[in-house]
Chain A
Amino acid sequence: MTVLSIQNLNVTFSTEGGDLHALKDVSFEVPERRIVGIVGESGCGKSTLINAILGLLADNGRVSGGEMMFQGRDLSRLSPREMTALRGPQIATVFQDPMGALNPVISVGRQMTNIQYRSGLSKAEKAERAVAMLRRVRIPDPEAALARFPHQFSGGMKQRIAIAMALMMEPALLIADEPTTALDATLEVATIELLQELQAQIGCSVLFISHHLGVIAELCEDVVVMYAGEVVERGTTRQVFNSSRHPYTERLLDCDPARQSSRTRHLPTIPGEIPDLRARPPGCIFAPRCHRRAPVCDTPPPEETVQSGHVARCHMVTP
Chain B
Amino acid sequence: MLHYTLSRLGLAVLIVSVAMLILFSMIYLIPGDPAAVALGPRATAAMREALRIKMGLDQPVWVQFWNFFINAWQGDLGNEVLSDRPVSRVVLEQLPYTLALIAGGMVWSVALGIPLGCWAAVKRGSLADRLVGVLSVAVIAVPSFVVAIYALLIFAVSLRWLPAIGAGEPDDLGDQLVHLILPSIAVGLGWVGYIARMVRASMLEVLEAQHIRTARAFGLPDNQITYQYALTIAILPTITLLGVGIGQMLSSAVFAEIVFARPGVGKLVYDAILTRNYPLVTGAVLVTTVLFVLINLVADLIVGALDPRVRSSF
Contact = CB atoms under 8 A, between A and B. Distances in A.
* A and B held together in a complex: yes
Interface of A: 54, 56, 84-89, 92-93, 95, 97, 100-107, 114-115, 117-118, 149, 151-152, 162, 165, 169
Interface string B209-252: 11101111111111010001100110000000000000000000
Contact of B312 (A102, A107, A117, A152): A152
A102 B215 CA distance: 8
20 contacts: A54-B216, A56-B216, A84-B221, A84-B222, A88-B217, A92-B217, A97-B210, A100-B210, A101-B210, A101-B211, A103-B214, A104-B308, A105-B308, A106-B228, A106-B229, A106-B232, A107-B308, A149-B312, A152-B312, A165-B218
B308 A95 contact: no
B309 interface: yes
User: Which of A92, A93, A97, A105 has the largest count of B CB atoms less than 10 A from its CB?
Assistant: A105
B219 A86 contact: yes
Contacts of B211: 100-104
A56 B217 CA distance: 8
A54 B228 CA distance: 22
User: Which of B214, B219, B232, B307 has the largest count of A CB atoms less than 10 A from its CB?
Assistant: B219
Interface residues of B, number: 23
Contact of A149 (B213, B216, B224, B308): B308
Given A56-B213, A97-B210, A105-B306, A92 B229 contact: no
> Chain B contact residues: over half helix, strand or loop, or mixed?
helix
Interface in B55-94: none
Contacts of A149: 308-309, 312
A101 B214 contact: yes
Contacts of B222: 84
B221 A151 contact: no
Given A84-B219, A104-B233, A105-B233, A95 B213 contact: yes
B218 A115 contact: yes
B206 to A, nearest CB: 10
User: Which of B211, B215, B308 has the largest count of A CB atoms less than 10 A from its CB?
Assistant: B211
Nearest to A152: B312
A104 B209 CA distance: 11
Contacts of B224: 114
A105 B210 contact: no
A62 B233 CA distance: 30
A106 B309 CA distance: 11
